[in-house]
Chains A and B, each alone.
Chain A
Amino acid sequence: MVVELDQVSIRYIVGDFKDIGLKDYIIRKLKGNFTVNEFLAVDNVSFSLEKGDMLGIIGTNGAGKSTLLKAITGIMRPTKGYVKVTGNIAAFLELASGFDGDLTVRENTYLRGAMLGYTREFMDEMYDEIIAFAELEESQDRPFKHLSSGMKSRIAFSIACLVNPDILILDEVLSVGDGAFRKKSEEKMLEIIRNGATTILVSHSLEQVRTMCNKVLWLDKGKQIAFGAAKEICDQYQKFLSQK
């Protein structure tokens, strides 16, 4: 098993503590209107993936998809249960964020590669291929902020995917880019899967999940509604959506 989750629950807190100063904090505490709400963003989720699986995570907004991914990548720690991952994860949740606008495309590519845990030698070797795949040969030395949002997601996708990771995690990445690039990126992902990587994809496009994934996890308000073969669960989910 490459990815294994056993009864994973993750507590999330929201409330007044965000963006306040020490002064506000003390005043609010004294007045007694300082509230912090806790809730389970992910509630008792268990599943496992084998090498070569492609999992689609579906669910409406606020279902806990992104929180679950954060637990798998190790950014968050489950409150209960455990997550076991074997192998190298290439994950950049919300791929197009986290770039530095003042650096050039080339510098950002190296920085992102470093964040994903690749070595410099590896990046030297792959750099031209990454740029070629993203079709950004002409913009290599331009500041990143001059790129269009489509270009940004293209380069983000290329860095994450051209490196053949053991586990690839993609959060809403394919919903960006133009039609031609989308087709190319889908092909690239299928190639990665054929090479034996395990992939987790969060997508609102049910069609995409249906065609690309072999397993599906359906979450609703943090709870695991279903996990299993893609076709059946997609059908169920579609029915659920049309009933709403």
Chain B
Amino acid sequence: MIEKFKKYKFLFEELVKRDFKKKYKRTVLGMLWSLLSPLMQLAVMSLVFTNLFGKTTAHYTIYLFAGNILFSYFRDATYTGMSSLVANAGIFTKVNVPKYIFLLSQNVSSFINFCLTLVVFFLFAMLDGVAFSWKFLLLVYPVLCLVIFNIGFGLILSALFVFYKDTQYLYDIFTMLLMYLSAIFYKVDSFSATGQQLFKLNPIYVYITYFRTIVLENAFPSADIYVLCIAYALAAILLGGWIYKRYNYKFLYYV
């Protein structure tokens, strides 16, 4: 494993550079641009929803922002990751390299983007008067879990996209529905106890909840949230890894 990592380190770095250059078109503005998109979204959402839900929720903008950045990261990482195999078919059908390396390098770009929005998030939180505490350090845990979850989900999607070319359209619909189910702009309090539990079937909701509990309530998330964070991440990466292992030599028939 470590030997393999060493062997493909150079390739990985070059792929990351390539993806980064292509994403931002070599401009500083390109980077700002990708930061602008979640901020605009936030601006519109908080404008519209503050009137609807904001009156009863303290720090509503931050509540909204936390949901939004985590969901955006999930969508961006998995959506760009989906095409990582198909887009690099010209490479892996010609030279023998581990196929997951393309997805990993895609994910690096998305993660850096996420980190930038995270900085803006904390800036907003500070301006909004959110009390910072040492508990914020615990946020590393859901972020790490989400990174693993996104990689795993990306593995599954990129394989599906090789086999079925309409995966992209289906995934568009899926992410839209998932967004509404992730409690990004509303609170789940008004649902019944069972209903609230059902929300936890949605991994993104779990990660968002962890974030909000720490940032907005300055409390420790409940034990089941901790367990679910890692469980979803492991389930995704194991399933994705299994698919890649199983179809490793079959992908090339489909591209």
Q: Hey, what's the 0/1 contact readout for A84-128 against B, CB within 8 Å counting as 1?
A: 000001011110011010110001001101111111100100000
In whole Å, how far is B163's beta carbon from the nearest beta carbon of chain A?
Answer: 7
Secondary structure type dominating chain B contacts: helix
User: Knowing A21-B166, A22-B166 touch, does A75 contact B94 (C-beta < 8 A)?
Assistant: yes
Which B residues are in CB contact (< 8 Å) with A21?
164-167
A25-B164 in contact (CB<8A): yes
Q: Is B170 an interface residue (CB 8 A)?
A: yes
In the assembled complex, the Cα of A76 lies from the Cα of B11 at a distance in Å of: 21
**Number of A-B pairs whose CB atoms are under 8 Å?**
84
> What's the tally of chain B residues with a CB closer than 8 Å to chain A?
28
B164-A111 in contact (CB<8A): no
User: Knowing A94-B94, A115-B97 touch, does A76 contact B166 (C-beta < 8 A)?
Assistant: no
Q: Is A20 an interface residue (CB 8 A)?
A: yes
A98-B94 in contact (CB<8A): yes
In the assembled complex, the Cα of A106 lies from the Cα of B207 at a distance in Å of: 41
User: Knowing A21-B165, A107-B17 touch, does A115 contact B91 (C-beta < 8 A)?
Assistant: yes
Q: List B17-66 residues whose CB lies under 8 Å from chain A.
A: 17-18, 21-22
A102-B96 in contact (CB<8A): no
Cross-chain contact of A116 among B15, B95, B249, B252 (Cβ < 8 A): B95
Which A residues are in CB contact (< 8 Å) with B134?
none
In the assembled complex, the Cα of A120 lies from the Cα of B252 at a distance in Å of: 28
Residue with the highest number of chain A CB atoms closer than 10 Å, among B15, B22, B170, B249: B249
Cross-chain contact of B90 among A20, A70, A98, A107 (Cβ < 8 A): A98
User: Knowing A92-B95, A98-B94, A118-B10 touch, does A103 contact B18 (C-beta < 8 A)?
Assistant: yes
Q: Give the residue name and chain of the A residue nearest to B160 (CB).
A: A22
User: Knowing A102-B21, A114-B11, A120-B10 touch, does A74 contact B254 (C-beta < 8 A)?
Assistant: no
Q: Is B253 an interface residue (CB 8 A)?
A: yes
Which A residues are in CB contact (< 8 Å) with B128?
none
Which A residues are in CB contact (< 8 Å) with B246?
none
Q: Hey, what's the 0/1 contact readout for A1-44 against B, CB within 8 Å counting as 1?
A: 00000000000111001111111110000000000000000000
Q: Give the residue name and chain of the A residue nearest to B25 (CB).
A: A102
Q: Give the residue name and chain of the A residue nearest to B90 (CB).
A: A98
B14-A76 in contact (CB<8A): no
Q: List B87-105 residues whose CB lies under 8 Å from chain A.
A: 90-97
Which B residues are in CB contact (< 8 Å) with A75?
92-96, 252
Q: 22 A–B contact pairs at CB < 8 A?
A: A12-B253, A17-B253, A20-B164, A21-B167, A22-B166, A22-B170, A75-B252, A76-B249, A76-B252, A89-B96, A91-B95, A91-B96, A92-B95, A97-B90, A98-B90, A100-B22, A103-B21, A111-B15, A114-B14, A115-B95, A117-B7, A120-B13
Known A21-B167, A111-B15; further 20 A-B contacts with Cβ < 8 A: A12-B253, A13-B253, A17-B254, A22-B164, A25-B164, A77-B249, A89-B96, A92-B95, A94-B94, A97-B94, A98-B90, A102-B22, A103-B18, A103-B21, A107-B14, A107-B17, A111-B11, A114-B13, A120-B13, A123-B10
B interface residue numbers (CB < 8 A to A): 7, 10-11, 13-15, 17-18, 21-22, 90-97, 163-167, 170, 249, 252-254
